């Protein structure tokens, strides 16, 4: 696995090593020792795995996070189709506070993104029938879920196009 630093503190793009032959391919998507070796802040124990299916191209989901004390670290991978995956740093003590990151995740490139506690996550689907799988180190707690509008004026963020599908919840988060 190749762990690539990003412009946001403690956010990593992870490129698994695919081993292939005439039968197809195999790749490891998690190795606790490699994560510890390459991510100094890593101390997660995955407690929940979620999957998201998106029927329509240009669907926006996000920016989602859970508030303290139920903040969660995530690893996200696209297993079908492709998405523009987005991270927003909400850690006030971070040097990258309110900065954003965008990276394409797809079933073809197999890239993953490591998102630490204190960052919000969202994505825009680039294809119909896109699916993502998430590893979480905290259980979902609906009383602590929150989000940030993708067009909040306090963040410098823009998508390549306005989403065609977006939930009322994602449109109506309070301004930061």
134 is catalytic: yes
Q: Are strands 74-80 and 112-115 parallel, antiparallel or unpaired?
A: antiparallel
Name the β-bridge partners of 85. 103, 123
Which helix (DSSP H) or strand (DSSP E) does residue 36 occupy? helix 32-38
64 is catalytic: yes
Active-site residue (options: 64, 65, 121, 136): 64
* DSSP letters for 115-174: E-TTEEEEEEESSTTEEEEEEESS---GGGEEE--TT-TTS----SS--SEE-HHHH-PP
Distance CA 157, CA 150 (A): 7
Q: Which of 120, 105, 112 is nearest to 155 (CA)?
A: 120
Active-site residue (options: 97, 134, 144, 173): 134
Which residues are known catalytic residues? 64, 134
């Amino acid at each position: 696995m190749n762990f690539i630093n990003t412009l946001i503190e403690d956010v990593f793009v992870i490129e698994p090593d695919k081993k292939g032959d005439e039968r197809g391919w195999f790749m490891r998507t998690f190795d606790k020792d490699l994560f510890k070796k390459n991510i100094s802040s890593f101390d997660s124990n995955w407690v929940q795995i979620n999957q998201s299916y998106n029927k329509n191209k240009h669907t926006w989901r996000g920016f989602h996070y859970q508030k303290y004390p139920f903040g969660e670290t995530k690893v996200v991978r696209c297993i079908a189709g492709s998405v523009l995956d987005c991270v927003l740093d909400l850690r006030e003590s971070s040097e990258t506070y309110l900065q954003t990151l965008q990276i394409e995740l797809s079933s073809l490139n197999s890239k993953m993104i490591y998102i630490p506690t204190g960052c919000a996550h969202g994505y825009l689907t680039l294809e119909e029938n896109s699916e993502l799988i998430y590893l979480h180190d905290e259980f979902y707690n609906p009383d602590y879920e929150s989000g940030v509008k993708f067009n909040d004026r306090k963040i410098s963020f823009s998508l390549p196009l306005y989403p065609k599908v977006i939930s009322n919840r994602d449109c109506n988060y309070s301004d930061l």
